[in-house]
């Protein structure tokens, strides 16, 4: 096993990478240091490869419970962000702690959705808790602490985040969770290392599929091919949660049977449109081509009318990049 660098050597590496040292106010909240062998050390982490000798954290030590890890691409698409938000909110509303890595993209969206749902969430950082990374997420980390969660690291307080520390912390994300949900991942992807760590720790791996033509979903699709549990809608997600956490199943909310179901058009063009946009966000011209290939009644005027109705019912939304896809629930 390679010895980690000293604090001085680590900061020298940080400077070589051009990463800034955090000089702002430290995160506020109760601090803890808990060592393996202690009665308060999370039992789930004692079973993982190279369990950390000490955990350093700010917030609630009690929040380090077995929960659900939700991870995905940093450069996430609107589809990946929507899935991270949707499933994090759903799980948090059922009392499940959401675990992630505090990174940009899907991680941050999952943390935020858990907080908005009134749930608890835990962020495992790449560096020490007094060197939060990315610095732009300091307000999010503080909100996690203030709402009963925790920001945690295996590295000492002022140890900087370095490229290898992110890979190392992935085993902690996967280890504390009963299951890891991959909402979006390309090939290659650092997200795969977390899936590998979950399997090595004998944890479940769940994955949200995407279109086979989408590079950002290639990794998640490959994980499903290799045996990960596919999460294709709210019902399959609720079934997985019920099995993992011994919960009673709830009635699920679907895009095609939400509270406005009495108003939802049931014509074939609208149903095909919703199905296509669930699979992959699309621009209007591509959507028309796809639907017309399936049904000759899906002419441009009919598709545009169906799209307008679905948007008015908040079933679909226009994303910033011009594509249409499921509206966040």
Q: What CA–CA distance (Å, rounded) separates 163 from 182?
A: 21
Side-chain-facing half-sphere of 17: CA atoms under 13 Å: 14
For range 105-114, the mean pLDDT: 96
- Phi, psi angle pair for 152, to nearest 5°: -135, 150
Q: Is residue 102 part of a domain?
A: yes
Q: Is residue 18 part of a domain?
A: yes
pLDDT tens across 120-167, in order?
A: 999 999 999 999 999 999 999 999 999 999 999 999 999 988 877 888
pLDDT exceeds 50 at position 257: no
Residue 285's CATH number: 1.10.10.10
The C-alpha angle with vertex 97 and arms to 128 and 149, in degrees rounded to 5, equals 45
- What was the pLDDT predicted at 230? 95
**Which of residues 304 and 2 earns the better pLDDT score?**
304
Residue 55's CATH number: 3.40.50.450
Helix H, strand E, coil C: the string for 216-239 is HHHHHHHHHHCCCEECCCHHHHHH
Which residues constitute the domain of residue 193?
A: 7-245
pTM for the predicted model, two decimal places: 0.73
pLDDT tens across 265-313, in order?
A: 456 788 888 888 888 889 898 998 888 888 877 888 888 888 888 888 8
- What was the pLDDT predicted at 108? 96
Band of pLDDT at residue 32, cut at 50, 70 and 90:
very high
User: Is the same domain home to 285 and 221?
Assistant: no
End-to-end CA distance of the chain: 46
User: Is the same domain home to 147 and 267?
Assistant: no
- The gap from C-alpha 170 to its chain's centroid, in whole angstroms, comes to 13
SS3 2: coil
Measured from the Cβ of residue 167, the count of other Cβ atoms closer than 10 Å reads 14
The mean of the pLDDT values for the chain is: 86
- What was the pLDDT predicted at 18? 67
User: Is the same domain home to 191 and 293?
Assistant: no
Angle between helices 78-93 and 234-245 (to 10 degrees): 40
pLDDT tens across 166-190, in order?
A: 889 999 999 999 999 999 998 877 7
User: Is the same domain home to 313 and 212?
Assistant: no
Domain boundary among 218, 245, 272: 245
Band of pLDDT at residue 11, cut at 50, 70 and 90:
low
Q: Is residue 2 part of a domain?
A: no
User: Is the same domain home to 232 and 293?
Assistant: no
User: Is the same domain home to 40 and 117?
Assistant: yes
User: Is the same domain home to 238 and 290?
Assistant: no
């Amino acid at each position: 096993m390679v010895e980690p660098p000293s604090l001085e050597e680590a900061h020298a590496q940080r400077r070589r990478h051009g990463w800034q040292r955090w000089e702002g106010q430290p995160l506020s909240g109760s601090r803890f240091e808990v060592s393996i062998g202690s009665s308060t050390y999370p039992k789930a982490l004692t079973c993982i490869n190279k369990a950390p000798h000490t955990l350093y954290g700010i917030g609630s030590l009690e929040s380090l419970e077995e929960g659900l890890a939700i991870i995905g691409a940093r450069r996430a698409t609107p589809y990946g962000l929507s899935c991270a938000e949707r499933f994090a909110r759903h799980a948090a509303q059922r009392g499940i702690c959401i675990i992630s890595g505090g990174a940009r993209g899907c991680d941050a969206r999952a943390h935020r959705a858990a907080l908005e749902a009134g749930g608890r969430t835990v962020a495992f950082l790449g560096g020490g808790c007094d060197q939060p990374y990315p610095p732009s997420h300091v307000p999010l980390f503080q909100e996690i602490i203030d709402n009963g969660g925790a920001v945690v690291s295996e590295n000492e307080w002022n140890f900087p985040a370095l490229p290898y520390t992110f890979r190392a912390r992935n085993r902690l994300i996967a280890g504390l969770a009963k299951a890891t949900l991959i909402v979006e991942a390309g090939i290659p992807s650092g997200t795969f290392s977390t899936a590998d760590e979950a399997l090595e720790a004998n944890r479940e791996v769940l994955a949200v599929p995407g279109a086979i033509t989408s590079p950002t979903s290639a990794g998640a699709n490959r994980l499903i091919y290799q045996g990960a549990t596919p999460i294709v809608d709210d019902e399959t997600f609720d079934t997985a949660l019920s099995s993992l956490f011994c919960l009673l199943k709830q009635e699920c909310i679907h895009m095609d049977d939400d509270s406005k179901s009495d108003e939802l058009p049931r014509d074939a063009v609208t149903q095909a449109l919703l199905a296509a946009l669930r699979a992959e966000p699309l621009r209007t011209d591509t959507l028309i081509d796809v639907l017309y290939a399936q049904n000759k009644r899906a002419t441009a005027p009919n598709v545009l009318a169906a799209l307008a109705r679905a948007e008015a019912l908040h079933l679909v939304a226009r994303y910033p990049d011009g594509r249409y896809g499921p509206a966040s629930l």
